[in-house]
């Protein structure tokens, strides 16, 4: 009798659940509600093979950033970092974004330099490179953004990761275009990838730095 009324349902962390929360937030614009739900799940749900608790904290932090709450986002990213579980990117990349959003630019830049030093030792992650390149481009550091996009593309080539390579090369093209640099071998590689996907060369050149399309 003692077990009557006690729920045996266990909520587990998984990508589908978090994808649904993110989709709903994008539809409604209520990122704070999504962040709160993810906070609760990250702290209470059981991690599974498809999602670690660190990953859940990372995704909660992303929603706090979208909700314009960088201070809380910093806490979530720090929790992800402390947890040490598998994540889609190094937690220091979004943590740097949150710190810069808080006006703690020196701390954010220090994290980026730390990641770059580790990358020079052969420990680069393409998705992390993508996030840092995007951040630096937004901050107006186009040379730094180009460095990170190129480093990420090189790592993708080494791993044979064509999907992420295509994303990084597209980002790199836009950055290089903003810098007014001439076409190079990386752009030719992007042409080859888009051709293989059945798309024309204009896939990338139709999206210069301003994001406009050809008429």
Same domain, 149 and 203: yes
Residue 214: is its pLDDT beyond 60?
Answer: no
Stretch 70-80: mean pLDDT, rounded? 98
Stretch 197-208: mean pLDDT, rounded? 44
Q: Model confidence over 106-157: pLDDT tens digits?
A: 999 999 999 999 998 888 999 999 999 999 999 999 999 999 999 999 999 9
Same domain, 74 and 158: no
Q: Tell me whether residue 2 is in a domain.
A: no
Same domain, 93 and 130: no
- Domain boundaries, position 206: 124-215
Q: Tell me whether residue 75 is in a domain.
A: yes
Count of structural domains within the chain: 2
Is residue 157 exposed (0-12), middle (13-18) or buried (19+ Cβ within 10 Å)? Answer: middle
Mean residue pLDDT across the chain = 88
Same domain, 160 and 195: yes
Same domain, 25 and 66: yes
Residues 6+ apart with CB under 8 A from 87: 52, 54, 55, 58, 80
Contact present, 161 and 126 (Cβ < 8 Å)? yes
Same domain, 137 and 61: no
Contact present, 40 and 21 (Cβ < 8 Å)? no
Q: Which residues of 87-108 are buried (b: 16+ CB within 10 A; e: fewer)?
A: bbbbbbbbbbbbbbbeebeeeb
Q: Choose one of 43, 64, 98: the last residue of a domain.
A: 98
Same domain, 130 and 212: yes
Residue 37: is its pLDDT beyond 70?
Answer: yes
pTM score, two decimals? 0.85
Of the pLDDT bands very low, low, confident and very high (cuts 50, 70, 90), residue 178 is very high
Distance CA 68, CA 72 (A): 9
Q: Tell me whether residue 112 is in a domain.
A: no
Stretch 24-31: mean pLDDT, rounded? 97
More confident residue, 191 or 78: 78
Q: Kindly report the CA angle at 25 between 82 and 27, in degrees rounded to 5?
A: 155
Residue 10: is its pLDDT beyond 90?
Answer: no
Distance CA 22, CA 29 (A): 10
Of the pLDDT bands very low, low, confident and very high (cuts 50, 70, 90), residue 103 is very high
Q: Tell me whether residue 167 is in a domain.
A: yes
Distance CA 58, CA 129 (A): 16
Of the pLDDT bands very low, low, confident and very high (cuts 50, 70, 90), residue 212 is very low
Residue 199: is its pLDDT beyond 80?
Answer: no
Of the pLDDT bands very low, low, confident and very high (cuts 50, 70, 90), residue 4 is very low
Same domain, 128 and 93: no
Contact present, 85 and 55 (Cβ < 8 Å)? yes
Q: Other C-beta atoms within 10 Å of 79: how many?
A: 20
Same domain, 152 and 93: no
Same domain, 141 and 209: yes
């Amino acid at each position: 009798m003692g077990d009557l009324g006690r729920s045996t349902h266990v909520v587990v962390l998984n990508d589908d659940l978090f994808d649904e929360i993110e989709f709903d937030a994008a539809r409604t614009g209520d990122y704070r509600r999504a962040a709160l739900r993810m906070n609760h799940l990250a702290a209470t749900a059981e991690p599974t093979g498809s999602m670690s608790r660190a990953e859940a904290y990372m995704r909660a932090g992303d929603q706090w950033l979208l909700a314009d709450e960088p201070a809380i986002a910093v806490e979530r990213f720090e929790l992800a970092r402390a947890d040490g579980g598998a994540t889609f990117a190094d937690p220091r990349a979004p943590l740097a974004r949150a710190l810069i959003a808080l006006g703690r630019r020196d701390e954010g830049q220090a994290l980026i330099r730390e990641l770059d030093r580790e990358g020079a030792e052969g420990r680069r992650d393409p998705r992390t490179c993508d996030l840092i390149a995007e951040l630096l481009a937004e901050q107006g550091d186009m040379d730094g953004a180009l460095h990170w996009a190129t480093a990420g593309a090189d790592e993708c080539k080494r791993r044979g990761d064509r999907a992420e390579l295509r994303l990084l090369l597209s980002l790199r093209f836009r950055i290089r275009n903003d810098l007014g640099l001439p076409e190079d071998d990386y752009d030719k590689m992007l042409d080859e990838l888009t051709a293989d996907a059945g798309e024309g060369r204009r896939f990338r050149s139709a999206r210069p730095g301003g994001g406009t399309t050809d008429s």
